[in-house]
A and B are shown apart, each in its own frame.
Chain A
């Protein structure tokens, strides 16, 4: 399937970019209401073209230029970078040292390969419905924390196209965060630490911070299904040994091999020492693993929503958190599917609808994407941008009201 996709891309991409990619909403998103001058114009995009050619520092004056360039280049992948002090495509003309990354959304990248040590069903780039639960857990935990602890409101969660999810935090305050602040937030959210050389990756001690308690509550809901049933971690000696490796010696000394299951998951230590063995095991198996470096850098580029994944052909679509439990990465439309759907003969009502619709900028767009499986995702994206707009207007009103009082 992968080689088939790669071979078809040169044909399908032009179609996708000409008739399906939601340029209007995309531009609306990244303009952020035009509140800051040149915000869209100073944004860096990067393209990965055929034959792995990579071009950075692309920037555009308006939606039209963006469209034309993408339709011309037909990139295999689009990344979004920071908003700079000058137009990125002119960075060479700027005096050295003055070209700076100023703002960018706070982003998170959760990748299934980071969980290879705790999933038996798949490894590396493969995923399946059994291990996808890990993403569901990650989204629930991080979404809650970003909203309730940090007060962020405009979060866009996107399926990366193959084996993970991205989160774009678009609040104004988030876009203005410094490198230090981004890394502090990422570290606050980090509980699983350690590489190949570390066996026990979660260590809890008193007091248990409220954030950890909230996260544990989520993990508990899914643990049995994910780890005990789906991954069957107690199902083989090898797998069970890995669990045992996480148990402190003093508890182990008390129980035999057979009782281990009972001991870990229902035993209450009566000694004065605090044990969080059960929690630590759960967290090590299920808690989200972030790549802190992705979140830290203001100038770090991240794959754009609605970009195509060159290996799977799947579109990076927004995820509806209201239906998170039902999200299935294998149902996400591929570029070949939606291009095929375009070729379906139009029904009479679709014909009418497309004629009635007109692009606000004056051109005529037949909103082709509405005829395809992409439709519901573009609608979701639309709602997201709409909500930010409403919030901006509300904020503006509040500020002018305050001024009126003087």
Chain B
């Protein structure tokens, strides 16, 4: 992309064909000139859109009508393309539709620059872009969907009528709400299983001889898989050319602001190192640890051992609250030695992995403490494990008993269980925070166990505020609808190159409800 003065009107632009469909896979980067103002505006608008995608994704089920309606509204209001009845032939002449598609195209590529740098940023970006894509694809008419598949060379063979008949029973039983009629009417595609991983993983599709038999209505999952792979590769490539882009003084502040704006802390940089003493841990675990870590701590004390998943989740959390490597070694060693492990074995086997956590061995990456998303979504616990998120992974009955043992009121427990039923695990944990700290409103949007800890400590110790550039992300629209906004303290980046209006715009975005 070249940057210069004037904006070019795009109708004669050779990219007309590129905008022939309202949806695209962003395989070709934009090749035009664009003004700095437009550059920033596009970036900010898409950021807002992705942020909405994220918030709605936390509080709604992604295929619900409510979700679709709200997302559709946001897409429209930010002037992005959505399902359109405009015939593709006349698109070039309908300037507004064309403009929307162009904006969609360019803004995506700008955000790639902002979000390619770290694993966390990439993961976030890919997740939101995929959710956005899924919504937009599902919104298309069947003809539009087929059109899209053809344009993007996703050609898979459909199975013959005979094959369908012979597999009828199995095809019916592989998909939810499928009857003999549905199977007969729909096309089934024979797709190599590696191309349909999401469907295979959840057993939502019939698998035979290495092929997944995908009904037309599920083809979006295949497309998403393809999209994720491409985007992932593209981001890795983008990261390599980033130094060149970042050296452009006009862009650097904006890109930096964009990438810090959403993530908040990842607790990889330890504050308060050494401020916690080992004797405090037991009492801290009941007062300021989120339930997931409280559970792990208790299991460790009770059985003097934790399996790998638990050691990672809890060990990194302890690092995040400020334990030094030496303290950590002392802590784990003392506990394991009370169990079946002898000093020798500990020093040889377990000590290595603790040092690894602190970046002193092997790859020497400093591992970051797990965020709530990571705890909830990856590595579910199995027999003998105590890690994971209690709100997500515990039986509701057992969860209830545990909350009772923590002396939570029965009204409070019911509220929590309701949230768990609606799959709002982080909100449930937030409610737990509110109940255990006797406040009405946590005042922050929980997305990290270490955040829980530091917020708790802030409350209990009268809070010394540590000034950071941008603090915890704003609270998503709660299902209950309470409108409580708390402006996070922030200091925008120091450079003055980007027009102040744009920076204000971003800041105010994070302050408004």
A198 in contact with B398 given A114-B384, A181-B197 (CB within 8 Å): yes
Q: How far is the CA of A278 from the CA of B37 in the complex (A)?
A: 65
Inter-subunit contact A184/B198 (CB<8 Å)? yes
B387 — which chain A residues lie within 8 A by C-beta? 195
A65 within 8 Å of B (CB atoms): no
Inter-subunit contact B349/A148 (CB<8 Å)? no
Residue of B nearest to A201 (CB): B383
Which of the candidate stretches B146-154, B167-175, B475-483, B489-497 sits at the interface with the other chain?
B167-175
Inter-subunit contact B193/A150 (CB<8 Å)? yes
B499 within 8 Å of A (CB atoms): no
Inter-subunit contact A151/B209 (CB<8 Å)? yes
A127 within 8 Å of B (CB atoms): no
Inter-subunit contact B348/A195 (CB<8 Å)? no
Residue of B nearest to A205 (CB): B176
Inter-subunit contact B349/A52 (CB<8 Å)? yes
A177 within 8 Å of B (CB atoms): yes
Inter-subunit contact A291/B382 (CB<8 Å)? yes
Which of the candidate stretches B111-119, B200-208, B455-463 sits at the interface with the other chain?
B200-208
A198 in contact with B393 given A150-B193, A180-B197 (CB within 8 Å): yes
Inter-subunit contact B382/A289 (CB<8 Å)? yes
A197 in contact with B383 given A151-B209, A210-B173 (CB within 8 Å): no
A200 — which chain B residues lie within 8 A by C-beta? 395
A150 in contact with B386 given A52-B345, A207-B178, A208-B173 (CB within 8 Å): no
Pick from B200, B344, B397: contact of A188, CB under 8 Å:
B200
Inter-subunit contact B197/A198 (CB<8 Å)? no
A117 in contact with B383 given A195-B388, A209-B203, A213-B173 (CB within 8 Å): yes
Q: Within A175-201, which residues are at the interface with B (CB < 8 Å)?
A: 177-178, 180-181, 183-185, 187-188, 192-200
A289 in contact with B383 given A52-B349, A173-B210, A199-B397 (CB within 8 Å): yes
Pick from A148, A188, A208: contact of B209, CB under 8 Å:
A148
Most buried by A among B200, B295, B387: B200
User: How far in angstroms is the closest Cβ of chain A from B211?
Assistant: 7
Q: How far is the CA of A50 from the CA of B398 in the complex (A)?
A: 45
Q: Within B372-410, which residues are at the interface with A (CB < 8 Å)?
A: 379-388, 390, 393-395, 397-399
A207 in contact with B173 given A52-B345, A185-B200 (CB within 8 Å): yes
Q: Within B173-188, which residues are at the interface with A (CB < 8 Å)?
A: 173-176, 178
Inter-subunit contact A199/B383 (CB<8 Å)? no
B194 within 8 Å of A (CB atoms): yes
Q: Within A198-250, which residues are at the interface with B (CB < 8 Å)?
A: 198-200, 207-213
A193 in contact with B170 given A184-B198, A198-B395, A210-B206 (CB within 8 Å): no
A116 within 8 Å of B (CB atoms): yes
Inter-subunit contact A195/B383 (CB<8 Å)? yes
Number of interface residues, chain A, beta carbon within 8 A: 42
Inter-subunit contact A149/B207 (CB<8 Å)? yes
A62 within 8 Å of B (CB atoms): no
User: How far in angstroms is the closest Cβ of chain B from A104?
Assistant: 16
A210 in contact with B381 given A52-B345, A184-B198, A188-B200 (CB within 8 Å): no
B393 — which chain A residues lie within 8 A by C-beta? 194-195, 197-198
Q: Within A74-114, which residues are at the interface with B (CB < 8 Å)?
A: 113-114
Q: How far is the CA of A115 from the CA of B345 in the complex (A)?
A: 26
Q: Within B11-47, which residues are at the interface with A (CB < 8 Å)?
A: none
Inter-subunit contact A183/B201 (CB<8 Å)? yes
Number of interface residues, chain B, beta carbon within 8 A: 44
A195 in contact with B384 given A177-B194, A187-B201, A210-B174 (CB within 8 Å): yes
Q: How far is the CA of A180 from the CA of B224 in the complex (A)?
A: 14
Q: How far is the CA of A306 from the CA of B178 in the complex (A)?
A: 48
Q: How far is the CA of A180 from the CA of B126 in the complex (A)?
A: 15
User: How far in angstroms is the closest Cβ of chain A from B421?
Assistant: 15
Q: How far is the CA of A187 from the CA of B201 in the complex (A)?
A: 5
Inter-subunit contact B383/A115 (CB<8 Å)? yes
Contact with A along B344-355 (1 / 0, CB 8 A): 110011000000
Inter-subunit contact B382/A114 (CB<8 Å)? yes
Pick from A114, A151, A193: contact of B210, CB under 8 Å:
A151
A293 within 8 Å of B (CB atoms): yes
A208 — which chain B residues lie within 8 A by C-beta? 173
Inter-subunit contact B173/A293 (CB<8 Å)? no
Pick from A52, A117, A150: contact of B207, CB under 8 Å:
A150
Pick from B178, B194, B384: contact of A196, CB under 8 Å:
B384
Q: How far is the CA of A207 from the CA of B201 in the complex (A)?
A: 16
Pick from B174, B194, B200, B210: contact of A207, CB under 8 Å:
B174
A211 — which chain B residues lie within 8 A by C-beta? 203, 207
User: How far in angstroms is the closest Cβ of chain B from A9?
Assistant: 17
B386 — which chain A residues lie within 8 A by C-beta? 195-197
Residue of A nearest to B211 (CB): A151
B394 — which chain A residues lie within 8 A by C-beta? 197-198
Residue of A nearest to B383 (CB): A114
Q: How far is the CA of A117 from the CA of B385 in the complex (A)?
A: 12
B210 — which chain A residues lie within 8 A by C-beta? 150-152, 173
User: How far in angstroms is the closest Cβ of chain B from A79?
Assistant: 15
Q: How far is the CA of A195 from the CA of B175 in the complex (A)?
A: 28
Q: How far is the CA of A211 from the CA of B227 in the complex (A)?
A: 28
Q: How far is the CA of A291 from the CA of B382 in the complex (A)?
A: 8
Most buried by B among A52, A54, A152, A180: A180
User: How far in angstroms is the closest Cβ of chain A from B394?
Assistant: 4
B348 — which chain A residues lie within 8 A by C-beta? 52, 54
Residue of A nearest to B380 (CB): A193
Inter-subunit contact B201/A196 (CB<8 Å)? no
User: How far in angstroms is the closest Cβ of chain A from B388?
Assistant: 7
Most buried by A among B210, B345, B399: B210
User: How far in angstroms is the closest Cβ of chain B from A392?
Assistant: 18
Q: How far is the CA of A169 from the CA of B325 in the complex (A)?
A: 40
Q: How far is the CA of A194 from the CA of B388 in the complex (A)?
A: 10
Most buried by A among B209, B345, B383, B386: B383
Q: How far is the CA of A117 from the CA of B382 in the complex (A)?
A: 11
B299 — which chain A residues lie within 8 A by C-beta? 196
Q: How far is the CA of A151 from the CA of B211 in the complex (A)?
A: 8
Inter-subunit contact B194/A188 (CB<8 Å)? no
Q: How far is the CA of A210 from the CA of B203 in the complex (A)?
A: 9
Q: Within A334-354, which residues are at the interface with B (CB < 8 Å)?
A: none
Q: How far is the CA of A289 from the CA of B197 in the complex (A)?
A: 21
Contact with B along A51-69 (1 / 0, CB 8 A): 0101000000000000000
Q: How far is the CA of A115 from the CA of B384 in the complex (A)?
A: 10
Inter-subunit contact B194/A149 (CB<8 Å)? no
Q: Within B223-270, which residues are at the interface with A (CB < 8 Å)?
A: none
A183 — which chain B residues lie within 8 A by C-beta? 201
CB-based closest 9 A-B pairs: A151-B210, A195-B381, A195-B385, A184-B201, A184-B197, A197-B394, A151-B209, A149-B207, A187-B201
Binding site for A on B (CB under 8 A): 170, 172-176, 178, 193-194, 197-198, 200-203, 206-211, 295, 299, 344-345, 348-349, 379-388, 390, 393-395, 397-399
Give 17 CB contacts A-B under 8 Å: A114-B382, A151-B208, A184-B193, A187-B202, A188-B207, A193-B382, A194-B380, A194-B395, A195-B383, A195-B387, A195-B393, A196-B383, A196-B385, A197-B295, A207-B172, A208-B173, A289-B383
**5 extra interface residue pairs, beta carbon distance < 8 Å, beyond A52-B348, A184-B193, A209-B174:** A54-B348, A116-B383, A188-B207, A197-B399, A292-B379
Binding site for B on A (CB under 8 A): 52, 54, 113-117, 148-152, 173, 177-178, 180-181, 183-185, 187-188, 192-200, 207-213, 289, 291-293
